Amino acid sequence: MKLSGASILVTGGTGSFGRAFVGRLLESADPRRVAVFSRDEWKQNEMAKAFPDKRLRFFLGDVRDKDRLLRAFDGVDIVVHAAALKQIPACEYNPFEAVKTNILGAQNIVEAAIDRGVPRVVALSTDKAANPVNLYGATKLCAEKIFVNGNAYVGTHPTRFACVRYGNVVGSRGSVIPLFLEQKKKGLLTITDSRMTRFWISLKESVDLVLFALERMQGGEIFIPKIPSMKVADLAAALAPGCPLKEIGIRPGEKLHEVLLSEEDSRDGWDLGPHYMFRSGAATLPEWNPPASPRLPVGFRYASDTNTRWLGIEDLRRLVPRVELEGAEAP
């Protein structure tokens, strides 16, 4: 779908991804209007100062409030849904709140988009939605199902839904890099387990993925980037050379390794070159056409510990200054 001349709304638009995405749109996509929908008026005020552009608009609101979403979605061509409660310990301790925002909020987005005739909606998901072991991952898996199967509710409306699923955005608000940099000042870094691996994606790459999904989606797809893995111990060593590391054990709801694409998902998956994509049969639309790309092999699994792309300590040292800069731009 063309971004030039479009009216685009981003929920959770004052977060790390939202700021990077909005900045890219205003700089290079030539939209007619970009609206940020979020709860925090202070962050909106700070973002307005950072992006003094007459095409940028702000809506105070919560995705739990369907009436406010209906008002905000009026005349919108594209919605990118980035709003979520995502801190794992907070979601575990406040499960009802996580459900209200991440699950019921997703339902509100789907219903409001259909009722307002928004043509394209892309929702952000996480590797923690694949075989989830914590409440955050479980709510995001539910949200994926709601968006993918929202295509069954569109009827004659033009609205289509898709998702993107990616790993940790290193340098974003809440990532491990700010924690390690703070601990470096005290001379001791804590890691949960020296064997732990995670997928790495930058803010720029996450924006690229969403733009790819908006261009390629027909409805019901989940797009997954091909990104490198890293050992968390290597990241700590890159950030604080020579600093001692203390293992504190895996926390409740935490995995040793993450999965972006399970064997079950890959049964309906394709290799699109820079990204993978899968689509469950429940999301079928009569006009959906399979891509002219290779199908994923039977039993294919995309996990952080068996990845074919890795970042070593020297790679991380070259990348960290850039990532720190990205993180500094986030509120």
Just list the catalytic residues.
128
CA-nearest of 174, 61, 79, 76 to 126 is: 174
Question: What is the rounded distance in angstroms from the CA atom of residue 170 to the CA atom of residue 154?
Answer: 36
SS3 at position 23: helix
CA-nearest of 27, 34, 31, 129 to 80 is: 34
Give every strand in the sheet of 33-38, ordered side by side.
Answer: 56-60, 33-38, 7-11, 78-81, 120-126, 160-166, 222-225, 275-278, 269-271
In the chain, how many H helices and how many E strands? Answer: 12, 17
Provide the residue type at 137 as one letter. Answer: G
Region label for 134, one of left (φ > 0), alpha (ψ between -120 and 50) or beta (otherwise)? beta
Residue 95 near residue 135, CB atoms below 8 Å: yes
Provide the residue type at 25 as one letter. Answer: L
CA-nearest of 122, 121, 123, 115 to 157 is: 115
Question: Cβ neighbours of residue 215 under 8 Å, at least 6 residues apart?
Answer: 1
Question: Cβ neighbours of residue 44 under 8 Å, at least 6 residues apart?
Answer: 14, 36, 38, 58, 60
Question: What is the rounded distance in angstroms from the CA atom of residue 211 to the CA atom of residue 216?
Answer: 9
SS3 at position 80: strand
Question: What is the rounded distance in angstroms from the CA atom of residue 329 to the CA atom of residue 307?
Answer: 30
